[in-house]
Amino acid sequence: MRVAVTNIGRIVSGSWQQPHLHGDTVICADGLITSVGTASAQDVESADVVIDAGGTTLIPGLIDSHVHITFGDYTPRQRTVGYLESYLHGGTTTAISASEVHVPGRPKDVEGVKALAVAARKCFAGYRPGGMTVHAGSVILEPGLQEKDFAELRGHGVWLAKAGFGAFPSAFDYAPLIAMAKAQGMITTVHTGGSSIPGSGAIHGEHLLAMQPHVSFHVNGGPTAMADRYFERIVRESEIALQICTAGNLRTALLTASLAQAHGAFARVLIATDTPTGSGIMPLGMLYTIAHLASLGSVEPELAIAAATGNNARVYGLNSGRIAVGADADLVLLDAPDGGSQRQALDAIRNGDIAAVGAVITGGEPRFVGRSRNSPPTTHGVRVASCRIPMSFTAPAY
């Protein structure tokens, strides 16, 4: 499918270093972005679908790097079906597993945790709920795992490893397993803050510095934050990515963003939700945290968007999260919500408003155009200007 998005008011790239791009048209084909900026009338007219953005803002699809998936589009924690598709209506086009820890009867032996990760990985390999990409299968680190086990997991395509829910007497005991997972090319993540579910324990700054994972999960607390004295140390004494989650402590989220900017470490700031959990299901969670950082934390809206897109993509090695030729065609049109005090998406976010989602494209295919079923309506109209294929892209209503 070839899709052209025209009449774009502003293009936000997903890069915190070069957040704005010139132009008013983006074209994608065969799942990839093929043109950014301007396009000839012939290029636009030859597209299978042409979307008139109506002057709204184009951003990369949001990447939620902390989603507690299980199997299928269902969460036993909140007993809800279809939550991932609902997240897509909040602009989230990619979900990354924070481990399948909420699977009922979760196994804790070596073979069990490996089997769980492999099964989750393979179940989502060809399954895209609502069009979302789900990177599933994060092995939960438990005593007894050895180098050969991580090598076996990599052979099955598992590339995520999670510390924080294993039966270790001390969090320092995770360090050798983190090193083993890293040696096999896996992205390593660590629960940060107070304990959250039975079987988990508190993990603070000293533990993180000893483990040196790739990502400090919900560094602002999940939901309970570690002591303030550790935040600057994590920023200054490590290269650990600083994942700020919606289902965490807002004060320490703002503290993390402030310290990262002060020490030139904003590239390490990631936005995620840490849901579904006891905090619930948050289809607009990514947009909420973007608005919180921009309105309360002195983070420019386009940089907050980068933390939710390009920064996540860089840390996790994804081809999405940025608007550039050759990148995955995961795109979202945002606007100021109808009835608010602002007229454009970035101004509304800076004002603390939740941006309205006008369209979502994933894998180069429009999933809906005109109105998200979860966000407020857009101020400017977004519509399908022409369509050569027998499909309707109107979002289903509840």
Average confidence (pLDDT) over 246-261? 98
pLDDT value, residue 392: 81
CA 201 to chain centre: 25
Give pTM, 2 decimals.
0.97
Average confidence (pLDDT) over 8-31? 97
Query: With DSSP H G I counted as helix, E B as strand and the rest as coil, what are the percentages for the chain, rounded to 5?
Result: 30, 25, 45
Query: Under DSSP, is residue 231 helix (H, G, I), strand (E, B) or coil?
Result: helix
pLDDT value, residue 394: 77
Average confidence (pLDDT) over 262-282? 96
pLDDT (tens digit, 9 = 90+) per residue, 176-210?
A: 999 999 999 999 999 999 876 656 678 999 999 99
pLDDT at 264 over 60: yes
pLDDT value, residue 68: 96
pLDDT value, residue 302: 98
pLDDT at 397 over 80: no
- The C-alpha atoms of residue 57 and residue 344 are separated, in whole angstroms, by 8
pLDDT value, residue 398: 47
The answer to whether residues 243 and 268 touch, using CB atoms and an 8 Å cutoff, is: no
Rg for the chain, CA atoms, rounded: 20
Nearest-CA neighbor of 135 among 97, 99, 86? 97
- The C-alpha atoms of residue 88 and residue 93 are separated, in whole angstroms, by 6
Mapping DSSP onto H, E and C, the string for 149-177 reads HHHHHHHCCCCEEEECCCCCCCHHHHHHH
pLDDT (tens digit, 9 = 90+) per residue, 21-39?
A: 999 999 999 999 999 999 9
pLDDT (tens digit, 9 = 90+) per residue, 210-240?
A: 999 999 999 999 899 999 999 999 999 999 9
Average confidence (pLDDT) over 371-378? 94
Of 7-16, 235-244, 294-303, 387-396, give the lowest mean pLDDT range: 387-396
pLDDT at 105 over 90: yes
The answer to whether residues 309 and 14 touch, using CB atoms and an 8 Å cutoff, is: yes
pLDDT value, residue 198: 59
Nearest-CA neighbor of 396 among 356, 354, 361, 367? 367
- The C-alpha atoms of residue 25 and residue 36 are separated, in whole angstroms, by 6
pLDDT value, residue 56: 98
Instruction: Report domain extents, the chain.
Output: 2-60+322-387, 62-283
- Of the chain, the percentage scoring pLDDT greater than 90 comes to 95
pLDDT (tens digit, 9 = 90+) per residue, 35-83?
A: 999 999 999 999 999 999 999 999 999 999 999 999 999 999 999 999 9
Residues in a beta bridge with 6: 52
Query: Under DSSP, is residue 132 helix (H, G, I), strand (E, B) or coil?
Result: coil
pLDDT at 395 over 90: no
What class does CATH assign to 62-283?
Answer: alpha beta
Burial call 70-95: b when 16+ CB within 10 Å, e when fewer: beebbbebbeeeebbbbbbbbbbbbb
pLDDT (tens digit, 9 = 90+) per residue, 306-350?
A: 999 999 999 999 999 999 999 999 999 999 999 999 999 999 999
Torsion of CA 19, 25, 26, 27, to 10 degrees: -170
User: Is the preceding omega at residue 223 within 30 degrees of 0, hence cis?
Assistant: yes
Evaluate whether 2-60+322-387 and 62-283 have a shared fold.
no
Q: Which CATH number fits domain 2-60+322-387: 2.40.30.10, 2.70.70.10, 2.30.40.10, 3.50.50.60?
A: 2.30.40.10
Which helix (H) or strand (E) segment holds residue 2: the answer is strand 2-6
CA distances in angstroms from 51 to 55, 69, 333, listed in the order given: 11, 32, 10
pLDDT value, residue 391: 84
Query: Under DSSP, is residue 310 helix (H, G, I), strand (E, B) or coil?
Result: helix
pLDDT value, residue 195: 79
